[in-house]
Amino acid sequence: MTGVQTCALPICSQLFPRIEEKEAQKILQSVTHDSEPEKKASSDKSKDEGLAEQVTIDDFMKIDLRTGKIVAAEKVKKSDPDFFQNLSKQQNPEYLWIGCSDSRVPANEIVDMLPGEIFVHRNVANLVIHTDLNCLSVIQYAVEVLKVKHIIVCGHYGCGGVQTAMENKEHGLIDNWLQNIKDIYRSHQARIDELENESEKVNLLCELNVIEQVANVCHTTIVQNAWKVGQELTVHGWIYSIEDGILKDLDVCITKPDEISRTHRMK
C-alpha cells in the first residue's frame, strides 16, 4: 500500500469521492493520532517509512467514517443550515416502514424522505411475527407514542429470504425464521407451483408474503387498540422492484377492524 489514493476498498471512493488526497492525508493524520497506542506506533513508524507506508485498512475505515460525516454534514448544512439543530429536537414521522434488511432497499431513499420523516423497522424478508418483541415494540412506539398515520409493509421482488424459504436446503438458524415464509408458501402452493418460471414463483411469493404481513400488523393488539380509540391508522402493502426502482401498491390497504378476518378481530 503506497498512499491514500490506493485504498483497496472500492466502496470508499464511491461513497466519498469528493475528498481530495491532501484533505484525506490531513484527516488521516488526526485519526492516527487519536488513540495512544496507535499514536506511538504511527509516530515510530513514520520516522522511518513516511506517512503513506504505515496506512492500514483500519486507518482507511476511520478516514472514510470521518470524511463521510464531514461530507454529509456539509452537504445538508448548505441547503438547510438549521437541519441538524431542528432534527435533534424531535422526530415527528407520519409513517412506519417495515421492510427487508436487504441493503438495496433503504426506506428513506426509496420514498425520498428525510431523516425524521419515517420510522423504520427492517428484518430478513420484512416479516411481522406475532411473538417478535423487537418488531412489536417498534410498532407500539410508532403507533402509541409517535402516532404515525400509516404503516407500510414493503417487500421487494427477488427477495433472498423468500427465495431461500422456497428451497429445501439447510442454512442453520435462519431456517427457523424462514419457516414463516414456508407457511405462506404451503397455503398458496398450488397457485405458485403452476407458474413455470422460477423467478415468477419467487416474485409471487414475495407479494403474498407482503399481504400476509399486512394482515399480521392488523392482527396485533396495538393496531386494533388504536382503531378502538378512533386513532387514524392505515396499513399498506407495497412491493419494490430493485431492477427498475418502481414501487408498486399491492392494493391491500386496511383502515379498520371490519376489514380483517373475523377470527382475529377483537371486540
- Tell me, yes or no, if 100 is annotated catalytic: yes
In angstroms, what is the minimal distance from the CB of 159 to Co ion? 3
Length of the chain: 267
- Tell me, yes or no, if 102 is annotated catalytic: yes
**Residue 162 vs 233, nearer CB to Co ion:** 162
Q: Which of 12, 59, 64, 100 is catalytic?
A: 100
In angstroms, what is the minimal distance from the CB of 144 to Co ion? 28
**Residue 3 vs 160, nearer CB to Co ion:** 160
Q: Which of 159, 218, 219, 236 is catalytic?
A: 159
**Residue 71 vs 250, nearer CB to Co ion:** 250
Grid coordinates 414475495 are at which residue? 206
- Tell me, yes or no, if 66 is annotated catalytic: no
In angstroms, what is the minimal distance from the CB of 160 to Co ion? 5
Residues 157 and 243 sit within 8 Å (Cβ to Cβ): yes
In angstroms, what is the minimal distance from the CB of 155 to Co ion? 7
- Tell me, yes or no, if 262 is annotated catalytic: no
**Residue 12 vs 100, nearer CB to Co ion:** 100
Give the three-state DSSP class for 119: strand
Q: Which of 104, 171, 264, 265 is catalytic?
A: 104
Residues 122 and 98 sit within 8 Å (Cβ to Cβ): yes
Report DSSP letters for 38-101, one per residue: HHHHHHHHHHHH-GGGG--HHHHHHHHHHHHHHHHHHHHHHH-TTHHHHHHH----SEEEEEE-
CA distance 195 to 212: 20
**Residue 122 vs 147, nearer CB to Co ion:** 122
CA distance 65 to 81: 22
Q: Which of 102, 121, 135, 219 is catalytic?
A: 102
In angstroms, what is the minimal distance from the CB of 6 to Co ion? 34
- Residues of the shown chain interacting with Co ion in the complex, contacts defined by CB under 5 A: 100, 102, 159, 161
The Cβ of residue 118 has, within 10 Å, a number of other Cβ atoms equal to 21
**Residue 102 vs 212, nearer CB to Co ion:** 102
In angstroms, what is the minimal distance from the CB of 90 to Co ion? 31
CA distance 124 to 127: 7
Give the cell for residue 13.
471512493
Residues 84 and 69 sit within 8 Å (Cβ to Cβ): no
- Tell me, yes or no, if 150 is annotated catalytic: no
| Torsion over CA: 18, 117, 221, 210 (sign) | negative
Question: For strand 234-240 and strand 247-249, is the pairing parallel, antiparallel, or unpaired?
Answer: antiparallel
DSSP state, residue 257:
G
Residues recognised as catalytic: 100, 102, 104, 156, 159
